[in-house]
Structure 1
């Protein structure tokens, strides 16, 4: 769609396969891949209009450091999208017990329940998080990314939003749950937040 897109992955085999797929489709000429962890991008002092981290957060050892890295890669006024798994009994039952142990659709040991992140924890992280305003003045901090109180699981669209992802095994498809759908944030979910401009 005309965007210059960089895909990164810490796994060399993943970036190699992705590069082969992109090379086979001329519509993906503006797509490039880099075999590197997200933290290495901070050394380039480049920021992006949109940063997406899909199904990564639940695998990292230090989620706060990883979220900080993602946040620093977003331009002021830019967007951060995350998808992950909530730390709930339902999520354990579906993603570890059923998918890994019973159905063997996912490699055993792929997920660790204690690494799952509740939606409220993500919201709180960005209520507390402050971005450095300037590289020259790293102690001067901006306002928090989320400033309004959340009265429910839905947050005002101008700042952040949570939406559940629901898998339909009969259709073998994922669906974005309606806002405030009961129980939709109990397993897989999407989180969007916009970085303050100042």
Structure 2
């Protein structure tokens, strides 16, 4: 099969461009991501520290690492990575997100290389990274396996790929679409399409097919009583996150 020129889905991009100005509004349309962010960062930082033998208590523990945050949005993950000392490239196919991210980084005193581009274009340009963060993006692309192939190509040998997405089952439909979009109205209706959700086994199979070696997966579980998220070794029924390596 010939690889498409891009896996960008223009309809999906339009959804997020319409919300771009609200990225840093804690009570706006991206409130669910702000709530989820501490849980995501816990996983990301522990995986990076473990793989690259870094002490998270040290000053600038990620210094010397080049990290790509693909689908960076307003920079909710790019900024913490930069604060930890990494050389960060934040890329997004939605042009409207980039000015928002750049302005906020300047206001935060951070240097982050934000670009309006795609994974495929970065790979074609020969860019390589120690870590690729691929968080809540794969369920919005036109061809998940071709997108993962681009993420593989962007990694240096031994590089770490961290990917989160939504499982596909009746519970995820009720929680992520009916609950989050229709009842709680955390997200505009139509933000997610249930048929684009990917099971953990499907994701691992695609990763292996493109040359990535899956090494870990965990659930991210919401507690409606405390309104907090936590990592789970067992419950991957709705949100989950994975780690994989490029061996060669």
- Between stretches 118-127 and 77-86, larger displacement belongs to 118-127
- Out of 81, 87, 90, the position equivalent to 2:168 is 87
Matched-pair contact (CA < 8 Å) for 1:61–1:115 = no
Shift of 1:124: 1.1
Q: Which residue matches 2:98?
A: 15
Aligned partner of residue 12 in structure 1, secondary structure: coil
**What number of residue pairs does the alignment pair up?**
165
Matched-pair contact (CA < 8 Å) for 1:8–1:37 = yes
Distance 1:66 1:51 in 2: 12
Distance 1:193 1:99 in 2: 29
Q: Can you give the 5+ residue segments of structure 1 that lack an aligned partner in the other structure?
A: 131-144, 147-158
1:5 has 2:88 as partner = yes
Distance 1:24 1:171 in 2: 31
Distance 1:46 1:105 in 2: 35
Distance 2:220 2:200 in 1: 13
Q: Which residue matches 2:195?
A: 114
Higher strand share: 1
Shift of 1:170: 3.6
Distance 2:105 2:241 in 1: 25
- What is the TM-score of this pair, normalised by structure 1? 0.78
Deviating above 2 A after TM superposition, structure 1's stretches of 4 or more consecutive aligned residues are 126-130, 168-174
Shift of 1:76: 0.5
Q: Which residue matches 1:139?
A: none
Q: Which residue matches 2:215?
A: 160
Shift of 1:99: 1.1
Distance 2:142 2:125 in 1: 24
Q: Can you give the 5+ residue segments of structure 2 that lack an aligned partner in the other structure?
A: 1-83
- What is the TM-score of this pair, normalised by structure 2? 0.63
Q: Which residue matches 1:25?
A: 108
Q: Describe how 1:41-190 pairs up with structure 2 within 5 A.
A: 41-130=122-211, 145-146=212-213, 159-177=214-232, 179=233, 181=234, 184-190=235-241
Distance 2:100 2:171 in 1: 33
Shift of 1:164: 0.3
Matched-pair contact (CA < 8 Å) for 1:86–1:118 = yes
1:192 has 2:247 as partner = no
